[in-house]
Structure 1
């Protein structure tokens, strides 16, 4: 089972790193997932991630208080608006835009109702 947790952790870590470059893919949620998966599979990787200078503070804020840093909230908002704007610009079907708008709106509500670090 540890191997499965490790694979999930590595995949979510890779997606989080890709999210640094792509505004459509969120980084912090994937890092949170990685921390969870690594806690089940690799103490060394878990420690590395939670003490990482870039990712560690966000993970710690979430684990302690369920908090999201204001800078991360704004970055997430801009990324979500950009992703929706691209969908609109590419002419996605109205049903897709409505569904995407509902889901992204719910994500924004969740993000902005979390306490701040």
Structure 2
């Protein structure tokens, strides 16, 4: 039963990662990291495919090597979060969301910039 659960989670995270390729506000690599992690517990072939992927394999391998995040990825994530926070300010959402979401994004950005780059 557990391998099936890991496979379902891997597919879910992989689907979210694929959506992130076309939706600029949805991150790709974090979902692929989660997909590879879940696949490693229940679907080794998918894990190997993700690790060997020519575009997304290197960030997954670097993360596993020591939570390494490239400077370009940090900038891309930070700019995306800033744009998302700015757009959110003009969206018809409750004030609490317009305050809380950018604060969470700021915390994530601070954490992200503390990750090693090499």
What TM-score comes out, normalization by structure 1 length? Answer: 0.95
For 1:107, the equivalent position in structure 2 comes to 108
Offset from partner CA, 1:35-84 (integer Å, 9 cap, x none): 10000111111100001011110001100011101111111011101111
For 1:85, the equivalent position in structure 2 comes to 86
Gaps of 5+ in 1: none
RMSD: 1.0
Alignment of 1:1-117 (within 5 A): 1-117=2-118
| Cα separation, 1, equivalents of 2:103 and 2:27 | 17
Q: Which 4+ stretches in 1 moved above 4 angstroms?
A: none
1:106 positional shift: 0.5
| Cα separation, 2, equivalents of 1:11 and 1:93 | 29
Offset from partner CA, 1:67-111 (integer Å, 9 cap, x none): 101111111011101111111122433221111121011110111
Provide the secondary structure at the position in 2 that maps to 1:72. Answer: helix
Gaps of 5+ in 2: none
Figure out how many residues of one structure are paired with residues of the other and give that number: 117
